[in-house]
Amino acid sequence: MKHITGGVTAAKGFEAAGVQARVKYQNRKDMAMVFSRTPCRAAGVFTSNVVKAAPVIWDREIVEKKAAIHAVVANSGIANACTGEQGRQYCRQTAQAAAEALGIPEDSVLVASTGVIGMQLPMDRITEGVKALAGVLSDTEDAGREAAEAIMTTDTHSKQAAVTVELSGKTVTVGGMAKGSGMIHPNMCTMLAFVTTDAAISEDLLQEALRADVTDTFNMISVDGDMSTNDTLLALANGCAGNPEITEKNEDYRLFCEALHEVNVTLAKMLAGDGEGATALFECHVIHADTKENARTLAKSVICSSLTKAAIFGHDANCGRILCALGYSGVQFDPEAIELFIESEAGRLLVYQNGSAADYSEEEATRILSCPEVTALVDMKTGEAEATAWGCDLSYDYVKINADYRS
Amino acid sequence: MKHITGGVTAAKGFEAAGVQARVKYQNRKDMAMVFSRTPCRAAGVFTSNVVKAAPVIWDREIVEKKAAIHAVVANSGIANACTGEQGRQYCRQTAQAAAEALGIPEDSVLVASTGVIGMQLPMDRITEGVKALAGVLSDTEDAGREAAEAIMTTDTHSKQAAVTVELSGKTVTVGGMAKGSGMIHPNMCTMLAFVTTDAAISEDLLQEALRADVTDTFNMISVDGDMSTNDTLLALANGCAGNPEITEKNEDYRLFCEALHEVNVTLAKMLAGDGEGATALFECHVIHADTKENARTLAKSVICSSLTKAAIFGHDANCGRILCALGYSGVQFDPEAIELFIESEAGRLLVYQNGSAADYSEEEATRILSCPEVTALVDMKTGEAEATAWGCDLSYDYVKINADYRS
C-alpha cells in the first residue's frame, strides 16, 4: 500500500468539481460534485440521530435499494435538517437537477448537505450551482481539491487522502475527502466523508467493509460530543481499475480493506485535529485492556472529557482528569493497577502509577503537551486488547465559533 | 412548607464552622465542619465513578455500617483522589484529629474533599485546621454561611437552602449547603452537598428518601459532562425537633420528602447556574413524554450539548442544536410531531413545529435568551410524563478556568 496525493479524483474514472453557489456563504466555494460516467456500486453509513437530515433519508433509501450510482452533490452552509416535507422535496429537486445536467437517472444521484440546521435551501441557487458543477467536472487533482474545499464549513483546511494497493496484479486506488469540524461525535460515521475507488467489488462486500471499518475510524473521533443530524459516509466503487471483482473475503478483500482503512483513519484524524477551535490533535491510546469494546469505550471517554480537553489546551498534565474520565466511562477496572503516560514527538512521560501521581517534571510534561499532536497512553495491565480515539483540545475559539454560528 | 434563611445550622442542634487552613488556597476559607452533639442518623449517595476519592471510600463504609454520626469535616483545594494508600491514611488521620478535638468516636466523623485530583493533602495543615474548626463551632446562621464558603472551589458564591415543615405538630427543619462548579455531571449525586435536619427518622427511610430524591434533583444537573471522583451527598438527622420518629411511609414521611426535595432541588439549581464560567442557568423542561425515564434522558441530553450551551451563551435561538441533542439522546420519537419553545422571565416563544422552524422573531428570541435563567420547553406530544434538567451556558471563562486550573 502506498500513500499518494489527491482525494476523490485519485481513483480512475472519477471527476469532481467545486463552485461558488452562494447557498449561504459569500465569496467561497460551497457546492461540490463527484461524478463517475461508469456506474458505481455504493455503500453508506449514516447518522443514528433520530432527527435525520433530508439528504440522509434520501441517500439511505437509494443505497439500500442498491441503485447504480453516478454522482454525489453536496452543499455547505445549510444542512437541510429539521426542514420537514419541504426539505425532502428540495433534496429530490437537487437530484433531479443533477440527473438532467448529467444525463443520468435521478436515483443515481446521492445528495449531502452540511451547515445550519432548521433553514430551507435557496433552491434557485442550488439548481444553478448544480448546472455550474456539471460544466466544470474534471478528473484532475485540482478538481478533487476544489470539491474538498467546497464542502468545508468551519474547517480551517480541506481534508483529502488517497492510497494505492495491488490487487491480483492491478493497481487499485482508494481516495476520499471529508469535512468537520463541529457537531462531531459520530455514531455510525462522521459529518460528511466521501470515498471513491476504482476497485471492482460487490455491493455487499463494499458495504460490509465500510461498516466494519468505521468502528475504529470515524466512530472513534469526537470534537464536541454532539452527534450530527447529517452524518454521512459514502463509498463509491466504479471498477475502472480492472481487477478481478472482489466477491468473497479473499486476500484481495483483505488488502482492499487495509487501503480503505488507511484512507478512513487518515481522514478521521484530520477531522479531529481540525475540530472547531482546536490547537492540537488529542489522541488516547488504550493498551492491554480486557476487551476491544472496553478499550474503545475507555479511549473515547478520555477524548470526550471537556475538562481534559481544556487541560490539553492549557498544556497542563492534569492526569486526575484523565483518570476521572476513565472512571466514569462505564468500564470496571482497578484504578491502582493502571499506568498513564503522556507522549508526543517531544517524548514520553509516566504521570500516574500505583494509584497516585508519578514523580515527574512539570516542565517536561508541558514541553510534551505543547506539540500539535499529543497522546494519552493508558496501560490497563489486564489483557491484550487495544483501541485509539481521536479528539482535540477545548479552546476559547470553540466557544467563539459556536456562540454566534448562525450570525 | 416554608423557605427560611440559613443552611446547615438552620436545623436544631447543628453547629458549623469555616476556617482558613491554607490547604492549597491562600487568603480564603478552605476547611469546614458540621457538628451535632446529639448523634445523627446518616444517609449518603456517592459517585459511581470507578475512580473514587479516599473520603468517598471512607464515608461509604461508615454510612453502610449505620454508625451514629457527629461530625463532617470537609476541605477544598485538594480532592484526595488518585492518592493511593497514602490518601486513605490521610483520610483516617483527619477523622482521628476531629474525634480527638471533639471527644467523639473516630467512626462518627465523615470526611469530604474537593479540588485538584492526584495531589496529597498537607496533613499538618489539615490537623491544625480541624483543631481551629472545633474551637469556633457555632449554631448561628453566620457559622453555616462560613462553612458553605469554605467548601467552594471555582464557585462564585456559596450555596445554602433551608425549609421548615410541620410534622405531627412539631416544626422540623431541613437545611443544606453544596458546592460546584466544574466536573459536575453527577450520577448518584453531585460534587459535595450536605443536608442537615432535626427530624427524627429511621436510617433506612432517610437513605431511601435521599436516594429517591437525587434522581430528579442532583442527578438532573450537568455543568460539563465530567462525573467527579468525589461526588458526595450526605444527609444527617439528629431528631432534635422532637417529632414522632418516622419509621414508616406515612404522611409525615411524605411531608419530610417534600421538604428534603425542596432543599435538594434549590441547591442543585444553584450548582447548575453557578457552573464554571456560566452566565446563565439553562433549564430544559420536557413535557408529554411517554415515560418519566425518557423525559429525563431527553432533558439531560439537551442541557449537556456543548453546541446548545455555546448558543445559549451567544443568546442565539439555535433550535436545530436542541433538536439534534434530543435526536441523539437514545430516545425514539417522531421529530415532526414535537414542539419546542424557549422561555424566560421575558416571555415564551414557539421556535419549532411540524418538523421545521416556526416563524418567529429573532429579536424576540434574543431578548428571551438574554435573561439569567432560560428554559427550553419541549412538548413531546405523546404521553403524560415530564422531567426537568438544569445546566448552564458554555463560555470563554469555562475554558479559561480549566486550561490553567492547577497553576
Mean pLDDT of the B117-132 span: 96
CATH class name, domain B281-403 = alpha beta
In the chain, the amino acid numbered B346 is A
The span from the CA of B203 to the CA of B67, in Å, is 10
Mean pLDDT of the A238-252 span: 96
3-state SS of B4-27 is ECCCCCCCCCEEEEEECCCCCCCC
Q: Return the pLDDT at B368.
A: 97
Least confident window among A140-144, A222-226, B358-362: A222-226
Q: Do A305 and B225 touch (CB under 8 A)?
A: yes
- Res A189 pLDDT > 50: no
- Res A183 pLDDT > 90: no
- Res B73 pLDDT > 60: yes
Count Cβ–Cβ pairs < 8 Å, chain A vs chain B: 234
Q: Return the pLDDT at A229.
A: 84
Give the domain ranges of chain A. Answer: 2-273, 281-403
User: Are the beta carbons of A338 and A357 closer than 8 angstroms?
Assistant: no
- Res B236 pLDDT > 70: yes
pLDDT tier at A181, thresholds 50, 70, 90 = confident
Mean pLDDT of the B110-117 span: 92
Q: Is A27 exposed, middle or buried (0-12, 13-18, 19+ CB in 10 A)?
A: exposed
Tell me which chain B residue has its CA closest to the CA of residue A405. Answer: B311
Interface test with B, best of A24, A46, A51 (most B CBs within 10 A): A51
Q: What interface predicted TM-score (ipTM) does this complex get?
A: 0.85
Helices (H), B306-395: 306-313, 319-327, 362-369
Q: Return the pLDDT at B187.
A: 58
Q: Return the pLDDT at B405.
A: 56
- Do the domains spanning B2-273 and B281-403 agree at the CATH topology level? no
Residue pLDDT, tens place only, A257-283: 999 999 999 999 999 999 889 999 999
pLDDT greater at residue A355 or residue B183: A355
Q: Return the pLDDT at B189.
A: 42
Catalytic residues of A: 190
Residue pLDDT, tens place only, B280-317: 999 999 999 999 999 999 999 999 999 999 999 999 99
Interface test with A, best of B191, B359, B399 (most A CBs within 10 A): B399
Q: Return the pLDDT at B180.
A: 84
> Vertex B209, ends B38 and B262: CA angle to 5°?
90
DSSP category for residue B146: H
The span from the CA of B349 to the CA of A64, in Å, is 40
Pairing of the two strands B109-116 and B69-78: parallel
Cα atoms in the 13 Å half-sphere on the side-chain side of B166? 2
Catalytic status, residue B190:
yes
pLDDT greater at residue A181 or residue B33: B33
Mean pLDDT of the B320-325 span: 92
Tell me the chain A residues in contact with residue B118 when contact means C-beta distances shorter than 8 Å: 318-320, 323, 352, 356-357
CATH topology of domain B2-273: L-amino peptidase D-ALA esterase/amidase (3.60.70)
pLDDT tier at A405, thresholds 50, 70, 90 = low
Q: Return the pLDDT at B186.
A: 65
Residue pLDDT, tens place only, B181-205: 777 776 544 479 899 999 999 999 9
Q: Do B84 and A355 touch (CB under 8 A)?
A: yes
Q: Do A81 and B320 touch (CB under 8 A)?
A: yes
Q: Return the pLDDT at A407.
A: 46
User: Are the beta carbons of B387 and B286 closer than 8 angstroms?
Assistant: yes
* CA-based nearest distance B398→chain A, Å: 8
Q: Return the pLDDT at B407.
A: 46
Residue pLDDT, tens place only, A314-353: 999 989 899 999 999 999 999 999 999 999 999 999 999 9
- Res A130 pLDDT > 60: yes
The span from the CA of B289 to the CA of B309, in Å, is 23
In chain A, the percentage of residues whose pLDDT exceeds 90 is: 84
Helices (H), B183-305: 203-214, 251-273, 292-304
